Structure 1
Amino acid sequence: MKITIVAGARPNFMKIAPITRAIEKARKEGKNISYRLIYTGKQDDSSLDASLFSDLDMKAPDVYLNIDDKNPIKTAAQIMMAFDDELSANPAQIVLVVDDLTPTMACTIVAKKRHIKVAHLVAGTRSFDIDMPKEANVIIADGLSDYLFTAGMVANRNLNQSGTESEHVYHVGNILIDTIRYNRSRLIQPVWFSILGLKEKEYILLTLNRRSLLNDEKNLRELINVIIKSSRGMPIIVPVHTYVREAIKSLNIQADNLHILPTQSYLSFGYLMNKAQAVITDSGNIAEEATFLGIPCITLNTYAEHPETYRIGTNELVGEDPALLLEAMQTLMDGKWKKGELPDRWDGKTAERIVQILLEGNSDK
């Protein structure tokens, strides 16, 4: 059985790495299974830092489609044509796509046009807001997939409400947990950690990424000021991309405990999260990892791909509301944050379940 795995952005690799290790393990055990890894972006993509693949203990992509267009329609069209050529040159029995990106949708369509089975990893993550750019992507990917691998029962319910046949839905758990669990003993303390005088569990980790949040300068200033004033002098570590760093610095906020730093390698960032007293983020992935690690997490969004993070985990949604952020910060700093529990099947064995299901469903391939 030949599987083509598609990554459309850097975060996808964190979810793909456990799958590749599980496939390699099954292959060593004599199973007829192999994979080819495709990245739809460019080989010189600045987000793919040199250490990424070694940090994740996985090989680099077999091929880069080199598509990088800011227009999502042109991106989808270019990916579809390039991916069609890729499948012509390297046939597969299964195409595995991840998350809810434009490449996810585009490659799903190509695979189905070629009568190839599609496995959608992290299926059923619906917002039910069609105006959100990713909603159409996930509707199409979920609707066409033969295997829908979900992280929790909320995703299962979303798929059921959408009319998806239950025999195609598999509750396998959260694949991100496989990655953080595998790498927890491999995490690396950044070299500047001691230079800043940081101590474990005595700093707050802040990450920002969403451009809609960054573009509202007035509200962004209020949010950051709330964090600074509520932190009671505790160091705030902010490892972010250049465009985020520029947005924050343009606010001219002066605070001795605010440390804006470049992005970190996967293992170094994982260390910062694992040793933080708390995490403030606008990333669903980070909220999921924080739930596994038992770290208090405040999410600057009204939506979470996996509601389990705030329903039973350590996460709380405050949107982009400074008043709600202040309330959450006071609860955190007073030591009254909820403990949280680990959602079902967030146990680090998701990739094994997925590979076993694919093998059982394609035993004659």
Structure 2
Amino acid sequence: MKITIIAGARPNFMKIAPLARAIKAEQAQGKDIQYRLVYTGSRQDASLDSTLFEDLGMDAPDVYLNVEATDFFERLAGILVSFAHDLDAHPTDLVMVVDDMTPTMACSIVAKKKGIKVAHLVAGIRSFDMNMPKEVNRMITDGLSDYFFTAGMNSNRNLNQTGTEQAHVYFVGNLLIDTLRYNRQRFVRPDMPADITDGAYLLFTLNRRAVVDEPETLENLLETLLRETDLPIMAPLHTYVADKIRSLHLDLSRLHLLPPQPYLQFGYLEAHAAGIITDSGNVAEEATFLGIPCITLHDYVEHPETVNQGTNVAVGLDMKELAEALRVLRRGEWKTGSLPERWDGRTAERILQILEEIKF
């Protein structure tokens, strides 16, 4: 069996890594299975830090398509053409795509046009808001896919409501948790002030342009955060976000702006935080596994399990709700979460077992 796996951005690798390791384990047992990893970006992508693949315990991509356009249509067109040529040169039995990014959708289109089966990892996610670009990507990708691997029963229900043939929908669990379990004992304390002790700081991450590019919204968010906690706040942020924060001229003595962290260092910050404030779905999922209180700055969560069962609460950009959540955290009254079903670190094994049973 030949599998081509697509990565379109750094977060995809966290979900691909356990599959790559599981395939190598199968090969070591003499199984006839091969994979080829295609990254649609470039080798010089600044988000791919030098230690990423070593930290994740996986090989670097076999090929880089070098599509770096920021305009959506130029990027889509570039991936369509480049990946079509790559498939011509490297035939495969299955194209495996991850999540809901533009490369996910684009490579699904190419594979389907060439008569190649498509498997969608983390399928069935829905916001039911067609104004969200990722929702369009999800709908198209799921509409083209032949096999659907989901992280929760909510995703199965979403696929059922859209008429997807349920025989090809597989509830396998969360690949992100596979990676977290594999690396948990390997976390490394990052370079941060020595007087900040484990369990006595908050972790803050922010990426959403809707917040970062609105000075009033960003200022209200930071003022609420700094007012409602007396703990130091570790903030590993991209340069443009940190610059926007500095431009507000607030008292940032308790907000420690750090550069983006390598995987193992960021994992340490998550695992040892008293609480996390984030707009990242991946971070909320990891917080649920780690049992760390998490406040999500979004009304929508990709995996409702993090709220219904886990340690996550979604407050959107409602500063009153954020303030109340921070007070609950400060009082030590945060809810006790539980681990969602099949978030057990064996998702990649289940996926490979299913693919072997399908027998391409």
In the superposition, the TM-score normalised over structure 1's length comes to 0.97
Of 327, 330, 334, the residue aligned with 1:330 is 327
Partner of 1:276: 273
Give ranges in structure 2 of 5+ residues lacking alignment. Answer: none
- Secondary structure of the corresponding residue to residue 300 of structure 2: coil
The residue number in structure 2 matching 1:110 is: 110
> Equivalent residue of 1:348, what SS?
coil
Deviation at 1:216, TM superposition (A): 1.5
Instruction: Name the amino acid aligned to 1:222.
Output: N
Shift of 1:3: 0.3
**Which of 211, 218, 225 is matched with 2:223 structurally?**
225
Task: In structure 1, list runs of 5 or more residues that go unmatched.
Answer: none
Q: Equivalent residue for 1:321? A: 318
Partner residue of 2:351 out of 350, 354, 359:
354
Aligned counterparts of 2:324 and 2:144: Cα–Cα separation in 1: 43
Is 1:257 aligned to 2:254, yes or no?
yes
Equivalence for 2:42? 42
Cα deviation, residue 144, structure 1: 1.1
Q: 1:243 to 1:255 in 2, by over 3 A?
A: closer
Alpha-carbon distance in structure 2 between the residues aligned to 1:124 and 1:325: 29
Instruction: Indicate the SS of the match to 2:316.
Output: coil
Instruction: Provide the C-alpha distance between the structure 2 equivalents of 1:63 and 1:111, rounded to a whole number of angstroms.
Output: 17
Matched, 1:62 2:62: yes
Alpha-carbon distance between aligned partners in 1 of 2:47 and 2:170, rounded to the nearest angstrom: 31
Please give the alpha-carbon distance, in whole angstroms, between the structure 2 residues aligned to 1:196 and 1:242.
23
How far apart, CA to CA, are the structure 2 residues paired with 1:145 and 1:105? 10
Partner secondary structure for residue 127 of structure 1: coil
Detail structure 1 runs of 4+ shifted over 2 Å in the superposition. none
User: How many angstroms apart in 1 are the aligned matches of 2:197 and 2:279?
Assistant: 24
1:162-213: per-residue Cα shift (whole Å, max 9, x none)?
11110110000011000000000110111x23x3411110000000011111
Q: SS in structure 2 opposite 1:119?
A: strand
Deviation per CA, 1:134-178, whole angstroms, max 9, x where unpaired? 111110111111110000000000100111110110000011000
Map of 1:78 onto structure 2: 78
Alignment of 1:62-211 (within 5 A): 62-190=62-190, 192-193=191-192, 195-211=193-209
Note the 1:240-255 alignment, pairs <5 A. 240-255=237-252
Q: Give the % identical residues.
A: 58
1:42-98 residue CA offsets vs partner (Å, 9 max, x unmatched)? 110000000100010100000000001111111111101100010011110000000
Q: Give deviations 1:81-133, integer Å, cap 9, x for gaps.
A: 10001001111000000000000000001001111111100001111100001
Q: CA RMSD for the aligned pairs?
A: 0.8
Distance (whole Å) between structure 1 residues aligned to residue 116 and residue 195 of structure 2: 54
Shift of 1:360: 1.2
Aligned counterpart, 1:340: 337
Q: Which amino acid aligns with 2:123?
A: A
Structure 1 CA distance, aligned partners of 2:130 and 2:287?
A: 28
Question: SS at the partner of 2:180?
Answer: helix
Please give the alpha-carbon distance, in whole angstroms, between the structure 1 residues aligned to 2:236 and 2:52.
16
Question: What secondary structure does 1:305 align onto?
Answer: coil
* Structure 2 residue matching 1:218: 3-state secondary structure: helix
Partner of 2:17: 17
C-alpha distance in 2, partners of 1:315/1:334? 17
- Say which SS state the counterpart of residue 290 (structure 1) adopts: helix
Distance (whole Å) between structure 1 residues aligned to residue 125 and residue 239 of structure 2: 29
Aligned length: 360
Hey, what's the Cα distance between the residues in 2 that align with 1:256 and 1:247? 16
Aligned to 2:46, the other structure's residue is in SS state coil
> How many angstroms does 1:231 deviate by?
1.0
SS in structure 2 of the partner of residue 181 of structure 1: helix
2:164 is paired with a residue whose SS is coil
C-alpha distance in 2 between matches for 1:69 and 1:196? 41
Q: Which amino acid aligns with 1:70?
A: T
| SS of corresponding position for 1:237 | strand
Cα distance in 1, alignment partners of residues 79 and 25 from structure 2:
30
- The one-letter amino acid of 2:247's match is S
Letter in 1 for 2:272: K
Find the aligned partners of 1:16 and 1:34 in 2 and give their Cα distance. 14
- Paired with 2:239 and 2:261, the residues of 1 have a C-alpha distance of 12
- Alignment partners' CA distance in 2, 1:64 and 1:196: 40
